[in-house]
Structure 1
Amino acid sequence: MNNNMLFDFTVDKTTKTVLITREFAADLSLVWDAFTKQEILDQWWAPKPYTSKTKVMNFEVGGRRFYAMVSPEGQERWSIQKYTSISPKTNFKLSSAFADAYENPELPGSEWDLNFSEQNACLPDRQGTTKVSISIYNESLERLEKMIEMGFKEGFTMTLNSLEELLGTI
């Protein structure tokens, strides 16, 4: 892990929002693909030792990703994400909720706003760095507190670390 990369994780209970900023030593196109292509997402979108298994993904406005985080014992925890806005290589938004295996959501859910920006791209002797800023708004304070109690910060930090490792290999 590159310790010089920015990483910030803030919980704001007054606005029911989690704010995450993370830099990756990779070009914008590669980081964007890692967040938007099923074959790459499934390689990192779960804290180890869990794995990610996508059943359906169509990355387009109105599309969805229906996936499970699978425990080493084979237990599946399903979620559904519905894409509400996409601005290629700069931003996408989605609604996210836990679900059962039949895509029935457990509401309330959360609203994710992901922003991507390239840093240092014009410096000839430096690899591009991509900053990802994520805002996760929860419809209820109770859901936000449940996320935190379930270890979201630790799990998502591990997940982003897995992405960083993967980016170094592709």
Structure 2
Amino acid sequence: MSGAEHELSVTRHVNAPRGIAWKVWVDLKDEWFCPKPWRAEVVEEDLRPGGRSAVRMYGPDGEDTGPMEGIFLEVVPHERIVTTDAYAVGWVPQTPFMTAIWSFADEGEGTRFTATARHWDAETLNKHLEMGFHPGWDQMADQFKALCETSAASA
């Protein structure tokens, strides 16, 4: 089975160097990570394999997702970040939903940013679609692109 079988993805060409895109992902995640008017709060980002990745999202009507707990599986600076919610920190198994792959590649004068969600099965993929993967992740990618480009213009 290929990873793409149960995969959803969004991609954007960002008019900013890869270093700026990386810095926006790492340092400004709470500004782009979820579609507005929702807001994200980074609880902890320990950027190393096995490190904790925890983000909480708040809705405009008081909704609170609670911490979305996971760990980093791979961190290749300026290239790729892989996270999963299949484990909590300390390699504690939990019910998985997806593995996320965030990639950054040079493209022309800018960066090709791709955000991918890999699911364990078709049922989970369909649930993510029903939850609003599109337009949610599309808007997130647009917000990321705009923040990178604003950051590049002021650099």
| Root mean square deviation, CA, Å | 2.4
TM-score by length of 1: 0.75
Aligned counterparts of 2:71 and 2:128: Cα–Cα separation in 1: 19
Aligned pair partner of 2:12 in 5, 22, 31: 22
State which of 75, 78, 82 in structure 2 corresponds to 1:93.
82
- Confirm or deny: 8 A CA contact 1:108 1:140 kept in the other structure: no
- Checking the alignment, whether the CA contact within 8 Å between 2:6 and 2:119 is kept in structure 1 is yes
> What is the CA deviation profile of residues 96-121 of structure 1, one whole-angstrom value per residue up to 9, with x for unaligned ones?
36x9xxxx98622211222211122x
Kindly indicate whether structure 1 or structure 2 has the higher relative contact order, using CA contacts under 8 Å at least 6 residues apart.
Answer: 2
Q: Distance in 2 between matches of 1:145 and 1:131?
A: 26
Structure with greater proportional strand content: 1
TM-score normalised by the chain length of structure 2: 0.82
Does the Cα contact within 8 Å between 1:112 and 1:134 map onto a contact in 2?
A: yes
CA contact (8 A) 1:113 1:136 kept: yes
Gaps of 5+ in 1: 1-11, 121-127
Correspondence for 1:123: none
CA distance in 2, matches of 1:49, 1:42: 12
User: When the two structures are aligned, how many residues end up with a matched partner?
Assistant: 145
Give percent identity, aligned residues only. Answer: 22
- Corresponding residue for 1:125? none
Structure 2 counterparts to residues 2-151 of structure 1, below 5 A: 15-37=5-27, 40-77=28-65, 78-96=67-85, 107-120=95-108, 128-151=109-132
